[in-house]
Structure 1
Amino acid sequence: MNCKDIQRKLSQYIDNRISAKERSIIETHIKKCVFCAAEKEKLDKVTTVFRSIPEFIPIQDSEEVFWKKVRQARKHRFIEKIRSLITQWDFIPVYYPATALFLIGLVLGICLGPVYNGTFYKNRFSSSNITYLALDRMDTIPYRSFTGVYLSGKATPHKFSKEEP
């Protein structure tokens, strides 16, 4: 075995969880190798420190006590959130007029929207007006362009510019 394998098994060696054959191999290697002996000393010190710590044995009702405290903390946190919201609501009467105007506008928009939509947009954005609206915004249409080819099939009062070959 090399040092890497020995150092990997040192913890098992200290805890007596290896076979007698491996134990003898590790002991002979530790006598020859200074690095593995130093590693064993470090692990021995850590093991003695951990073994000197007394074992913690919880009381029988510790789980119930823990969950009871958690529930109380959550309840108090909820109550504190409600209190903070109530204290913040002292300034809310300032926003009542704005909220009332918003709601009135919303109701009027829902009630009068179809009436307004039917009369205003129907006349203004009919298909013929949209075509002329688009053409009014454009300069002269190049001959044989996509728009020119599309509009050449329709009778329109607009003139197309012709390119000379």
Structure 2
Amino acid sequence: MNIITHIMILFGIMGLIAYIGYAVHKEEKMFEKVILIISAMTGFLIYFGARALGLSIPAMMMASVSVTNPIKMAVFSILIPWSVGIAVAWYFSWCLSKHIDIAFRVVILISAFIVTLFGDVYAASYTVEAGGGSIDTSLLPNLTFTVGMGLYIILNYKTR
């Protein structure tokens, strides 16, 4: 099961990268294509800028899964990432219901940020000592974020 989890996470990261590339490639207007590329690069740069300032989301996540208190673990590893996932999905839906150009730019920006975050958290999960040779609990924040975002989109987003 652990191997399948890793494969799914890696496919998810590659899928987000492919989505960003496809979204930029399919844009017909050259100026808008440049803006979408800038949006993607800005998403990456925001993440790396935060890291340069000492803000490490993976370090915070790994600290949350290493907590032994089940209540603190539930809050920091499940409820907060799940809530953030719902908030991101709501924001995506809200943006897409507004002006299409700006909404699409924001989706690309946040997607680039998320793919960078997921890659960083995935790499950081290997440094966490987990019982039984498993790293499943270190991936719990990513899992709950993705589930929160996915459920919100599945249950609330209406296509035009």
Length-normalised TM-score, structure 1: 0.21
Higher relative contact order (CA 8 A, sep 6+): 2
Greater helix share, 1 or 2? 2
Q: Which has more radius of gyration?
A: 1
Length-normalised TM-score, structure 2: 0.21
